[in-house]
Amino acid sequence: MLTLAALEDAARIVYAHMSPTPQFVWPLLSEAIGADVAVKHENHTPVGAFKVRGGLVHLARLAQHLPAGSGVISATRGNHGQSLAFAARRFGLSCTIVVPLGNSSEKNAAMRALGAELIEFGEDFDAAKAHAIELQHARRLTYVASFQADLVAGVATYALEFLRAFPALDVVYVPIGLGSGICGMISARDALGLKTEVVGVVSDRFDGYARAFETGQIRDTGAAFSFADGMAVRVADPNALAVIRSGAARVLRVSDQEIGRATRLLYRATHNLAEGAGAAALAALMQEKERVAGRSAGIVLSGQNIDRDWMVDILSGGVPLPGRHGADPDA
């Protein structure tokens, strides 16, 4: 677990490259839920998602120990890759990112625009990750895992901002991909000495963290499809799981249909775009409306990077399906 001093050190690195993001209580959203709902707007970072904070902290520290001209490699569905590309450019490192075949064309375009070399491989994140680990040796690159202490310290700065602005929150809902976001929230909550309940949220099609939270056993959920691609992780990280099991109140499962409804509510009530994982926290809060009635709740809008075709499907009342993915980002 991270101390308050460690989080403050990470914050100094983050704020050298970006401003804190806002957090608001939106009246229409609170009215719809029947509770005061505060939204942490991590969709307002320079890459449209919270991950950039961890990339800045990790690469700032890594660059101090690497020779000039070095590079990093990792695997992602998008936001982790954008984070590393953004940070690598600032610290003089090259960046190679492996994404699954059929990945979001708009996220791919964003990573390339930030300077990353993009390699498409495998059917899902876990296959892309395995290929990235192989390539690190052949290309003499440094592999950057999606979950490690520096990344957690970096992303925990969003939680530090949120909980300092709303220290009396009864409960906060946090989406889980590989786990840095929720571990950052737990770390910040504990460092500040608050009593806020932290509730994790996973896709019901990739519910490995929920199963592991309940049983203590890590299992591969197998391949599936969810448009909440930021949560499409088949295998829980054991280090993240240990933090979640010790510090979270529960882990909820949400369906693509529930995430779609939450995305529409966010757009109607706040006029903010949310990618699937970004709307998942609200989807979980909507499940627990009766539980939170009359209390104060927080949700993390972790990112906004959703393809245009998918957003059209959602705002039209449906949910994105496999195969409908990626309009020409220049069109």
**What is the domain extent for residue 38?**
4-50+149-315
Contact present, 254 and 282 (Cβ < 8 Å): no
Identify whether residues 62 and 27 lie together within a single domain.
no
Task: Going from the first residue of the chain to its last (331 residues), give the mean pLDDT of each consecutive group of 10, the final group possibly shorter.
Answer: 94 98 98 97 97 97 91 92 96 96 90 96 89 94 92 97 98 96 98 98 97 96 89 93 98 98 98 97 98 97 95 95 55 36
- Look at residue 331 in the predicted model and tell me its pLDDT: 36
Decide if 323 is inside a domain: no
Residue 324: the pLDDT is 58
pLDDT the model gives residue 124 = 84
What's the rounded Cα separation, in Å, for the pair 285 and 297? Answer: 8
Q: Structure pTM?
A: 0.94
| Domain boundary residue, one of 143, 169, 202 | 143
DSSP classification of residue 122: S
Residues counted in the chain: 331
For residue 208, the domain's CATH number is: 3.40.50.1100
Give 171's strand partners.
Answer: 197, 297
One domain, residues 175 and 306: yes
* Ramachandran class of 199: left when φ > 0, alpha when ψ lies in -120 to 50, beta otherwise: beta
Give which of 126, 25, 49, 94 is closest to 305, Cα–Cα: 49
Q: What is the pLDDT of residue 84?
A: 97
Q: How many domains does the chain have?
A: 2
* pLDDT value of residue 125: 81
Q: Are residues 165 and 175 in the same domain?
A: yes
The per-residue DSSP string of 230-292 comes to GG--SS--HHHHHHHHHH-SEEEEE-HHHHHHHHHHHHHHH-----HHHHHHHHHHHHTHHHH
In a domain, 294, yes or no: yes
| pLDDT of 330 | 38
Together in a domain, 160 and 248 = yes
Do 195 and 305 belong together in one domain? Answer: yes
- 10 and 158 assigned to the same domain: yes
Q: Determine the pLDDT at residue 68.
A: 81
Please report where in the chains the tokens 């690190």 appear, as a residue: 136
Q: Tokens in use for 25?
A: 């209580």
Domain endpoint, select from 114, 143, 172 = 143
Supply the pLDDT for residue 329: 37
Q: Which of 283, 277, 278, 331 is nearest to 309 (CA)?
A: 331
Residue 204 lies in a domain: yes
- Residue 48 corresponds to which tokens in the numbers above? 């449209």
C-alpha distances out from residue 32 to 40, 201, 276, Å = 18, 20, 20
